[in-house]
């Protein structure tokens, strides 16, 4: 007999969705989307690893995954939606050159996009988000308010946040507040 | 942001992202060193006014340990290097 029944549930299932804030005639300045939960791997290079970035890039292509820089000699590998990363194959390919940690159930991804997305993020984060300083493809591990986030610019007006699961709902609420002045459309993962 | 530090890996970041551990000039005694040496290493600290080398951890960023040469009065910073890569 179990006292508590464990239920598999998306971290942002109970988040507040819908439109709010000062939406102007051009529509919401910010579109916030809970991204589908995928497999996610943290990779840390061994000190004597050789050409690891090139090998990781090849692995990412092979797995149809996305590779993100996560600081000195650290990366995140994000599996495609609806599939699982082949951990056995990845481990075999990298051998002792990298330490792997499966963060699939430990992190949640949020998309923040729209003409005012950078302005909303700038209220809570110290990264210079000018496209010259932080172009598409660039990532940074940093703080948004008091919450640690991994931030990536996906496009000129689109960003991805990766946050620890237990902070996801708190971050979502913060993002709604930061975006209120621009008008915000907050979408559930199932709406994508 | 009042207080900034340039991480060699992450660029300029606010002080809130870092944790200060203190004196980076201490040298760990040998395991069999006399107790007085170990006491000095663990407990005794100078409180310098002026230039000082400290260990800073980039907790909110790359999570690397850094050695920061910093002026304790003005917070002017002369150098920041990765603690694992200093010569
Ligand atoms: Zn750093």
Tell me what the mean pLDDT of segment B42-46 comes to: 93
- pLDDT value at position B1? 40
- pLDDT value at position B87? 59
- pLDDT value at position B2? 59
Test the A interface: residue of B3, B6, B13, B84 with most A CBs within 10 Å: B13
Please give the Cα distance from A55 to B75 (Å, whole number): 42
Between A166-170, B31-35, B74-78, the lowest mean confidence (pLDDT) is in B74-78
Which residues of chain A lie closer than 8 angstroms to B14, CB-CB?
Answer: 126, 143
The answer to whether ipTM exceeds 0.90 is no
What is the residue-wise DSSP string for chain A? Answer: --SS------TTTTS--EEES--BTTB-SEEEEEPPP--EEEEEE-TT--SHHHHHHHHHHHTT-EEEE-STTEEEEEPPTTS---HHHHHHHHGGGEEEEE-TTTEEEEEEESTTHHHHHHTT--S---TTTS-TT-EEEEEETTEEEEEEEEETTEEEEEEEGGGHHHHHHHHHHHHGGG-EEEE-GGG-
Please give the Cα distance from B22 to B66 (Å, whole number): 11
Asked if B17 and A72 come within 8 Å (Cβ–Cβ), the reply is no
Task: Report how far apart the first and last C-alpha atoms of chain B are (Å, whole number).
Answer: 32
Strand-strand pairing, A184-187 and A30-34: parallel
B77 reaches A (C-beta below 8 A): no
Residue written as token pair 């051009």:
A26
- Tokens encoding A123: 């209220």
Low-confidence ranges of chain A (pLDDT < 50): none
Burial category of B64 from C-beta neighbours within 10 Å (exposed 0-12, middle 13-18, buried 19 and up): buried
B57 reaches A (C-beta below 8 A): no
Quote the pTM value.
0.91
Asked if B62 and A74 come within 8 Å (Cβ–Cβ), the reply is yes
- pLDDT value at position A2? 76
- pLDDT value at position A117? 98
Test the B interface: residue of A70, A72, A148 with most B CBs within 10 Å: A72
- pLDDT value at position A113? 98
Question: What's the gap in Å between A162 CA and the centre of ligand 1?
Answer: 17
pLDDT tens figures, A140-184 = 999 999 999 999 999 999 999 999 999 999 999 999 999 999 999
How many residue pairs from chains A and B have C-beta atoms closer than 8 A? 35
Q: How confident is the model at residue B48 (pLDDT cuts 50, 70, 90)?
A: very high
- pLDDT value at position A6? 85
């Amino acid at each position: 007999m179990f006292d508590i029944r464990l239920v598999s549930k998306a971290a942002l299932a109970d988040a507040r969705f819908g439109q709010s804030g000062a939406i102007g005639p051009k529509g919401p300045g910010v579109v916030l989307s809970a991204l589908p939960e995928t497999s996610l791997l943290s990779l840390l290079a061994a000190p004597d690893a050789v050409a690891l970035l090139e090998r990781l890039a090849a692995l990412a292509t092979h797995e149809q995954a996305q590779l993100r820089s996560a600081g000195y000699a650290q990366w995140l590998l994000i599996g495609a939606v609806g599939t699982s990363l082949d951990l056995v194959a990845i481990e075999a390919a990298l051998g002792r050159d990298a330490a792997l940690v499966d963060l699939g159930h430990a992190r949640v991804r949020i998309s923040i996009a729209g003409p005012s997305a950078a302005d909303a993020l700038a209220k809570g984060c110290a990264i210079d988000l000018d496209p010259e300083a932080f172009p598409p493809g660039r990532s940074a591990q940093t703080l948004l308010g008091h919450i640690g986030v991994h931030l990536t610019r996906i496009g000129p007006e689109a960003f991805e946040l990766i946050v620890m699961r237990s902070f996801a709902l708190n971050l979502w609420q913060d993002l709604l507040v930061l975006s209120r002045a621009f008008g915000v459309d907050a979408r559930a993962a199932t709406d994508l | 942001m009042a207080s900034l530090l340039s991480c060699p890996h992450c660029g300029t970041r606010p002080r809130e992202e870092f944790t200060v551990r203190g004196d980076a000039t201490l040298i760990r005694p040998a395991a069999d060193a006399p107790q007085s040496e170990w006491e000095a290493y663990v407990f005794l600290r100078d409180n310098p006014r002026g230039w000082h080398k400290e260990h800073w951890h980039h907790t909110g960023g790359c999570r690397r340990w850094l050695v920061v040469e910093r002026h304790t009065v003005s917070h002017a910073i002369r150098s920041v290097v990765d603690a694992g890569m200093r010569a």
